[in-house]
A and B are shown apart, each in its own frame.
Chain A
Amino acid sequence: MSSPAGPAGPRAASGRAASGRAASSRTTTPGRTASVTGWGRTAPTTARLVRPGSYDEAASAVRECGPRGGIARGLGRAYGDAAQNAGGVVWDMTGLDRIRRFDAEAGVVECEAGVSLHRLMEVLLPLGWFVPVSPGTRYVTVGGAIGADIHGKNHHVAGSFTRHVRSFELLTADGAVRTVRPGTDLFDATAGGMGLTGVVLAAAVRLVPVQTSLMAVDTERAADLDDLLARLSATDHRYRYSVAWIDLLARGAATGRAVLTRGDHAPLDALPARARRTPLAFRPGRLPPAPRGLPDGLLGRRSVGLFNACWYRRAPRRRTGELQRLSAFFHPLDGVPHWNRVYGRGGFVQYQFVVGHGEEETLRRVVERIAARGCPSFLAVLKRFGAGGSGWLSFPAAGWTLALDIPAGLPGLGAFLDGLDEAVAAAGGRVYLAKDARLRPELVDVMYPRAPEFRELRGRIDPRGVFVSDLSRRLAL
């Protein structure tokens, strides 16, 4: 099976450290030293990158990891410091990239943890099967999907990724490989556990059947936040997939204006005759990558505001049943490899939080504060979540989630986001650890009430503290 590496490959930050050569070797020792960041390209730290190609290599890598421990890394799509480990080891899991078995009766695929969702689509879509949960990029690994318990546009009906995981194999600190099933503490600690309970080596994932690789999409505009929330509350249940792009730079009466796109997999009979001949073809388009070394501040308030306004005006007031490619519907940004470079050297942060139903006022205040502050944030995303899953540190919970990108160099941004955290925490909400690069550690236990249990379990199964990441150090997880 070929490497599933996405446009950014399995790594990191500096171009210097990014030679693909060493990464494709199959030896575990000694690895190479590399500067590592998350997708937001902030806070680089240096670690030894080791790429195990088999269970044995992974087990010996864990046994030999040294005093500063190790952490698994998939395709590095977490925005912050979750998959980096200063001074220690980072296990690049993309070497474990075999799809082992597909049970077409049950619709269950068994694959290694380094397989990307892109690869699963490439292989399984032509057979009429789709991943149960797809985030805003296909370039995430199955291991990363479990580690962050990712959610997609179908969260309100399907829940998060680990709900569809039948079992996984976990390499724990003692070097043993355990099969872990739902309903156990180890499963719930690992689902959303940010790689801190061990290394997921493989998983069995239930897929969903589809008739075509196209999406039937309804688009509509919402004039402001009230209108948006009303539309989502009233009709979301009719759609399997639903999300709203919200213009956070619009102010006054237009605050919270948005474009809703909702839909489902198109049934065969919705396709025009020609397309019906190859209904399951998977053809994601690809543009040239964003250039390196773009300056900071390219995305200012003015340029982004203009872009957002055009986006809003271009969208139809209402359109139903439009056929779109999967990639256009789910992963519009994947078309431009390395798009994260447009934020320049200073990088960017993504702020994503959720607050429960009934906390619409909090949501409104946060949206207003962001709009008033003029954060140059492209198309932020608002979504209604369904009920949360069983993962102790899993992010989604019933309610409203908002995600926005902001250039890290914006003066005073740290304090501004701290202020939003307070509002979110006071409303019983939380921020998403897979996106985080800046949360105050004191708030972790407030936002994730099961964090103490998580630490206690880690203390028990990993007494030497083998699994460590920059995130776990920063947040004392």
Chain B
Amino acid sequence: MKDAFGSPQSLLILGGTSEIALATARRLIARRARTVWLAGRPSPTLEDAAGQLRPLGAEVRTVPFDALDTGGHEEALGKVFAEGDIDVVLLAFGVLGDQERAEAEPAEAVRIAQTNYTGAVSAGLVCARSLRVQGHGSLVVLSSVAGERARRSNFVYGSSKAGLDAFAQGLGDALYGTGVHVMVVRPGFVRTRMTAGLAAAPLATTAEVVAEAVETGLRRRSEVVWVPGALRPVMTVLRHMPRAIFRRLPV
């Protein structure tokens, strides 16, 4: 159960090697989390991630999960919930992809869309059903500022996150009153493996800062969290900017 400050005792991470997710896990283990599930594509990296969390004081288990294998979500995640309540599900998987390649090879764009959107819709709904039965729990969805307004330079990723963001908001409304809380997290540029080699955007931040924002959001039962918070007004401006101007911005 979560305590009065929204600190969970059990955590399920979808995308078990995500740097943002692991930073969040470390923070939550420092509070109350004692059971952590890392769901992800089996790899030494996934096992390493589990190995690094264990000494912090949690029982950490890995479970095979592929966002693209939507047919297998029910079974893979069902097993986790069968073992006990999950207080927080962190939906963290996602791929940035390569925009140029995606434009040239539609199959690559489909892979991005299916991972970030279709995969999340499937896994999100499977988890939502179990959370609903529990009557409590939070589903934290890592969306992105990129979904707030699609940019020329990465609109495939951006549109997949826009879809994910809209889906998560709708799911949150659908679950209102069931005891389940859905929180949409919209980070800006975060320095992780995903963005390695890219030039940092303004207001760039770190996985640790996102983790802290997630913890605070859980305490406040926030529905939307921007990281850093300053992105909220910035994106409000960008969102309302006329197309002709937006198109020419160097973003």
Contact = CB atoms under 8 A, between A and B. Distances in A.
Interface of A: 14, 16-17, 33, 35, 40, 42-47, 68, 80-81, 85-88, 346-347, 349, 408-409, 413-415, 437-438, 440-441, 470, 473-474
B5 A45 contact: no
Contact of A87 (B4, B9, B32, B179): B179
Interface stretch (B45-53, B129-137, B156-164, B195-203): B129-137
B3 A40 contact: no
Given A35-B179, A474-B9, A349 B4 contact: yes
Contact of A347 (B4, B134, B178): B4
Please provide the 10 A-B residue pairs with the shortest distance between their CB atoms, ordered closest to farther: A46-B179, A87-B135, A437-B4, A86-B135, A42-B4, A86-B136, A474-B1, A45-B136, A438-B3, A46-B135
Contact of A408 (B4, B31, B135, B180): B4
Given A17-B177, A474-B9, A438 B4 contact: yes
Contacts of A33: 177-178
Interface string B1-37: 1111111010000000000000000000001100000
Interface of B: 1-7, 9, 31-32, 85, 133-136, 177-180, 219-220
A414 B179 contact: no
Nearest to A296: B220
A192 B60 CA distance: 35
A17 B85 CA distance: 24
A346 B3 contact: no
A285 B199 CA distance: 67
A88 B135 contact: yes
Contacts of A47: 135, 179
Contacts of B219: 346, 408-409
27 contacts: A42-B4, A43-B1, A43-B2, A43-B3, A44-B179, A45-B1, A45-B135, A45-B136, A45-B179, A46-B136, A46-B177, A46-B180, A80-B4, A86-B1, A86-B136, A86-B179, A87-B135, A87-B136, A87-B179, A88-B135, A346-B219, A408-B4, A414-B3, A438-B3, A438-B5, A438-B7, A474-B3
Contacts of A346: 219-220
Nearest to A81: B1
Task: State the main secondary structure of chain A at its contact with B.
Answer: loop
A97 B94 CA distance: 56
Contacts of B32: 440
A470 B136 contact: yes
A68 B135 contact: yes
A441 B180 CA distance: 23
Contacts of A438: 3-5, 7
A166 B106 CA distance: 78
Nearest to B30: A415
Contact of B4 (A43, A415, A440): A43
A47 B2 CA distance: 16
Contacts of B135: 45-47, 68, 85-88
A85 B1 CA distance: 10
Contacts of A470: 1, 136
A17 B177 CA distance: 8
B187 to A, nearest CB: 21
A347 B219 CA distance: 11
A473 B1 contact: yes
A411 to B, nearest CB: 8
B78 to A, nearest CB: 15
A88 B9 CA distance: 19
Contacts of B2: 43
A84 B9 CA distance: 17
B4 A40 contact: yes
Contact of A16 (B3, B4, B177): B177
A409 B220 contact: yes
A437 B4 CA distance: 5
A351 to B, nearest CB: 10
Contact of A413 (B1, B5, B136, B220): B5
B133 to A, nearest CB: 6
Given A43-B6, A47-B135, A414 B31 contact: yes
Given A46-B136, A87-B179, 9 more contacts: A14-B177, A35-B177, A43-B6, A45-B179, A47-B135, A347-B4, A414-B31, A438-B7, A440-B32
Contacts of B136: 45-46, 86-87, 470
Contacts of A349: 4
Counting chain B CB atoms within 10 Å of each CB, the highest count among A14, A81, A88 belongs to A81
Contacts of B133: 68, 87
Nearest to A41: B4
Nearest to A46: B179
A35 B9 CA distance: 21
A418 to B, nearest CB: 9
A86 B134 contact: yes
B69 to A, nearest CB: 28
A92 B230 CA distance: 45
Contacts of A17: 177
Contacts of A81: 1
A255 to B, nearest CB: 27
Contacts of A437: 3-4
Counting chain A CB atoms within 10 Å of each CB, the highest count among B3, B9, B32, B177 belongs to B3
Contacts of A86: 1, 85, 134-136, 179
Contacts of B177: 14, 16-17, 33, 35, 46
A259 to B, nearest CB: 29
A233 to B, nearest CB: 34
A473 B136 CA distance: 12
